[in-house]
Amino acid sequence: MSFAEKITGLLARPNQQDPIGPEQPWYLKYGSRLLGIVAAFFAILFGLWNVFSIITLSVSCLVAGIIQMVAGFVVMLLEAPCCFVCFEQVNVIADKVDSKPLYFRAGLYIAMAIPPIILCFGLASLFGSGLIFGTGVVYGMMALGKKASVEDMRAAAQQTFGGNTPAQTNDRAGIVNNAQPFSFTGAVGTDSNV
């Protein structure tokens, strides 16, 4: 058994269908899940650090820390429900979110990551919520899908132009022929518009 198969077996959940789709590479599917688990851990850790900022009487950092910890627990619940085996409804919630499109998860993670950064801008909230934001970006990129092949893009471009290939143009095709250079040092010596 290879190292990749061991990691795949650890990150896969029982009875899991492939909601991400076969077009995604394995390292992106499992890497995003691993990034989510790491992001959740650090969000909880740094959220706790922000909660301890109540010592300096910073209420906004206290609220940001609580929101960051809740976001970390939600990401951990969705990415690694095996961490919450004592709660029965966790697998139901995780399966429900797994059945949704990937852009739903991306939007959820990005929306949860922004408020702590706005409320208490600092390294703890920036790093903890930034990892959750990065996980949302990775899921958003996976939702966009794979780039088309060169042949598919060429066929789409030919279909757009009605089957005709566009005329070859040089870089200066859109420039007006009688335009004068713009200068801050003085007026242009000759004016072609007169």
Ordered by start, the domain boundaries in the chain are 30-146
What does the pLDDT read at residue 27? 84
- Mean pLDDT value across the chain: 80
pLDDT tens profile 12-40: 654 454 444 557 788 888 899 999 999 99
**Could you read off the pLDDT of 139-183 as tens digits, one per residue?**
999 988 877 788 888 888 788 766 555 555 555 555 566 566 665
pTM above 0.85, yes or no: no
Distance from the first to the final alpha carbon of the chain: 81
Range among 47-56, 62-71, 146-155, 165-174 with highest mean pLDDT value: 62-71
Say what percent of the chain tops pLDDT 90: 37
What's residue 58's pLDDT? 83
Mean pLDDT of 69-88: 90
Alpha-carbon separation of residue 145 from 34, 43, 67, 138, 139 (angstroms): 20, 28, 31, 11, 10
pLDDT at 113: 95
